[in-house]
Amino acid sequence: MTVSNDVKTQPVVQPKAVEKVVDQPAAQPVVAKGGEAPGKVAADKNDVKPTGAKADVVANTPASGDKPDLAAGLAAMKDGKVLKRGGKNDEAEVKGAQTSLQGLKDKDGNPYLPAKGADGKDSADGKLGPKTQEAIKKFQKDHGLKEDGQLGHDTMEKMKEAGATQSDAEAKAAQGDVQAKQTDAEKAKAAEDAAHKADGTNKDDTVKAADDMKAADADLKGTNDKVDAAGKDLDGAKAEKTAADQGLTDAKKSLGDLQQQKKDLQADIDKRKANGEEGYVYDSAGLRADNHQMAALDKAIGKQQGAVTAAEGKVAAADKHVAAATDSLATAKINQSGATARQQQAEANLKDAGKRLAEGTGETAAHDKATAAQKAADDAKTKADAARAQAEKIKGMTTPKPVVTDVITGPTVIV
């Protein structure tokens, strides 16, 4: 008689049912070919080949693929038996346990039993060899069970609990993927609708782009004309400035000449007076003549000073004209630059609109993308539904935890 004893420690809160015990005949030694000593157990050979109903179970136990059927694997394990290496194991149950270990993940997200063995074949072969035993031990260690490498009641129950937790998390993740893909599908549908709408507006866009191009050309021509006019005005202002400067120079020279003449005349009068020249005293004719000439020079000097002032005014006006013309030219060039940019943009817009008109809006491609996105969302929902169904199925395999009610602390789940 063989008794399973997987748990290292188990808190006792209330009496629990004694683990089921199943009588099994002792394992018979298998003699290997080549004359190996008796008593050596073949690691990867089953002691009993299933027949009849058991053969059907083996045939219907799902083989490990890209995603092992965790629910089917867990369901194939029968409580009340202990599966161990070298024992009289039911191949279907071992295969179910192996499929379960392929589907169950450790804390790093790796399966306890790799789907493929070193030979590249499915590791769920119904033979409880060293690799399967090692996987059982690792699971037992991760879940606080006795690490004996045997599959008894407690280990099976813990595998089902772990499967329920894992499958529930996978179902929730699958539902999140459904929401993400549905969002993608909605975006793709919106893009399809936009493409459909754009298909009816491309012609109008092209006509508008052509009108904008025509207006931009006219605007650019206008700014070019203003730049030319401003340039000519500046040239005229500069010529005016040159003439004003020359006029002021000439006026100042004439004033200087008159002032020098007055100075020379005054020196001559002073000299003749100092020499006591005969007839050049008091109210003599010579003195009167020089005084008359001096008065004429003073009058001419005063007039020329007015001319200088007038010339200075012309220079100031010419300076102001040059400054204004310079500003006007700068403004005209800025406007010309803006008009050039608008004309270039209008040209690019017309080219782009013409290209869209010629190529179409890609409505067909957008429709195909929207269809594919919706199919992906539908497929994700199908997978999510299957994941949820599996989670519920595995949850139904677990044994409900007993609850003890304390008058002080309330209900407590026994673990």
Report yes or no on 166 lying in a domain: no
Q: In the predicted model, is pLDDT for residue 110 greater than 70?
A: yes
Report yes or no on 105 lying in a domain: no
Report yes or no on 228 lying in a domain: yes
Report yes or no on 257 lying in a domain: yes
Predicted local confidence at residue 66, as pLDDT:
64
Token output for 54: 């058991």
Predicted local confidence at residue 68, as pLDDT:
87
Predicted local confidence at residue 218, as pLDDT:
93
Model confidence pLDDT, tens digit, residues 266-302: 888 888 777 766 656 555 677 778 788 889 989 999 9
For residues 135-158, give the mean pLDDT. 94
| Cβ-based neighbour number of residue 227 at 10 Å | 21
For residues 238-255, give the mean pLDDT. 92
Q: In the predicted model, is pLDDT for residue 111 greater than 60?
A: yes
pTM of the model: 0.44
Q: What is the CA radius of gyration of the chain?
A: 56
How many domains does the chain contain in total? 1
For residues 158-185, give the mean pLDDT. 92
Q: What is the CATH number of the domain that holds 230?
A: 1.10.287
Report yes or no on 245 lying in a domain: yes
- pLDDT band with cut points at 50, 70 and 90 for residue 411: low
Report yes or no on 40 lying in a domain: no
To the nearest whole number, what is the mean pLDDT of the chain? 79
Report yes or no on 264 lying in a domain: yes
Q: Which of 18-32, 228-242, 294-308 has the lowest mean pLDDT?
A: 18-32
Predicted local confidence at residue 16, as pLDDT:
37
- pLDDT band with cut points at 50, 70 and 90 for residue 326: very high
- pLDDT band with cut points at 50, 70 and 90 for residue 265: confident
Structural domain for 272, as ranges: 202-360
